[in-house]
Structure 1
Amino acid sequence: MGIFSGFSLIASSIPYIINGVWTTLEIALVSAIIGFVLGVILSLFKIGNIKILAWMSDFYTSIFRGTPLILQLTLVYFATPQLIGYDISAFLAAIITFGFNSGAYMSEIIRSGINAVDKGQFEAAGALGVPYWSMMKDIILPQAIKKILPAMMNEFITLTKESAIVSTIGVLDLMRRAQVVAAENSLYFPPLIVSFAIYYVLVMILTILGRLFERRMSRSD
């Protein structure tokens, strides 16, 4: 069977594969939100004066950065029912794993952004008597986030691509749908190259949107 005849054979299944984009983006977006919130909390703990919180945050980061993401995913999905008796869904397992994993990486990104803020901002806020948490929330973090926007966008793009591993636990994302079509037709190249192209276009769109957002934010300075 030729390549082009193979594509014609799966033509009716291409919309089915494309619909997996929404699951892929949903996992990436929700995980990014969880990761951002966790990242902010962990980064503040890391730069704070409470040693036990700083140690715990560093340990948390080392765990999620030091082990394979696919292993974390399979542990959450397969071990949760045995540990706590809750039959977790594949989608929820994916959200939890990717969110917690992203939080570890985001904490380092946000910490670097905070450290990049001019020290005079801290001194000025301290001289004016601004409470520490108010200073971080209203003065330091907004400036830090502007500095790390490219890194944050890269993290979101990485989440979008790495979400393909949720296919291993049965989530019907873009990758899994391509595998289903491949198995049904005993034909792997056409559906997988379709998903390959969709991932590429999706990442290029996200990259362009990220750059436009960065330019808009830089103009608001």
Structure 2
Amino acid sequence: MGQLDFSILLEWETLSLLLKGLEYTILYTLAGFVLSVILGVIAAFAQISSIKIVRYIAMAYLSWFRGTPLLVQLFLLYYGLPILFGIQTTAWVVGVIGLGMYSGSYVSQVVRGAIQSIEVGQMEAGRSLGFSHFQTMRKIILPQAVVRMLAPMTNELISLTKNSSLLSSITVVELFRQSNLLIADTYRTMEILLAVAVMYYLVNNLIGYIGLFLEKKTSVGGDLR
């Protein structure tokens, strides 16, 4: 049984490649998260729309993207678009779109739940002050809902960071794929995978701490712990 040799991680070439992979992971995750927030907000308002067809479209979107694995969705986008529609795909673009559409289905539930958790009386109070429905949502409902979204949105960003490793399956060079390439060159499987795990761990815990910091900054109630 071979012994672990972590000296490979001290070599600048190895370290720089892993850090470059981590940089791409962060960029793709953030881009996917921005897209997921946009899609999630649209889908959330579509779900509470008074127009039936809009609600049905939103439910179809949620049903598909929450009911099928992200890996399958990525393959369908990357390989299916050229075959079915003749659309040439770029791996990282497909990856970001896939992450955004998948995560957006979960973000929509966070947004919808936060909005619907605000007491109905606050909407009525806003309307009684002469605000329109849109003004009441923007000035009264949404600011409170955003605060309630912080914890679940932080969790969703952490999940998306971990799910970004699936982009390696469609040849996107991010942290996990970079580690596979290094393993093929060095045959140091455990050492490199442990280093990658630590990198994911540090990034996700940093996201968690930022989320907690924002929650405390926006909290108006006392600490119940």
Deviates more, 1:60-69 or 1:179-188: 179-188
d(CA) in 2 for partners of 1:53, 1:141: 21
Give the corresponding residue for 1:145: 146
d(CA) in 1 for partners of 2:174, 2:205: 19
**2:185 matches 1:193:** no
Instruction: Give the aligned length.
Output: 219
Unmatched runs of 5 consecutive residues or more in structure 1: none
The answer to whether the 8 A contact 1:114-1:141 is kept is yes
d(CA) in 2 for partners of 1:174, 1:135: 44
**2:133 matches 1:111:** no
Deviation string for 1:88-126 (max 9, x for gaps)?
111000111111111110111111101111211111122
Which amino acid in the other structure matches residue 8 of structure 2?
Answer: L
The answer to whether the 8 A contact 1:69-1:101 is kept is yes
Deviation string for 1:18-44 (max 9, x for gaps)?
221111111111111111111111111
Unmatched runs of 5 consecutive residues or more in structure 2: none
Q: Aligned to 2:219, what secondary structure does the other structure show?
A: helix
Deviation at 1:69, TM superposition (A): 0.5
d(CA) in 2 for partners of 1:148, 1:163: 22
d(CA) in 2 for partners of 1:219, 1:14: 44
**2:177 matches 1:171:** no
Q: Aligned to 1:49, what secondary structure does the other structure show?
A: coil
d(CA) in 1 for partners of 2:139, 2:72: 38
TM-score w.r.t. the length of structure 1 is: 0.93
Deviation string for 1:36-85 (max 9, x for gaps)?
11111111111121111111111110110000010001111111112232
Alignment of 1:68-217 (within 5 A): 68-217=69-218
Deviation at 1:9, TM superposition (A): 3.5
Deviation string for 1:110-161 (max 9, x for gaps)?
1110111121111112223422233223321221111121001110111011
Give the corresponding residue for 2:18: 17
CA RMSD of aligned residues (A): 1.7
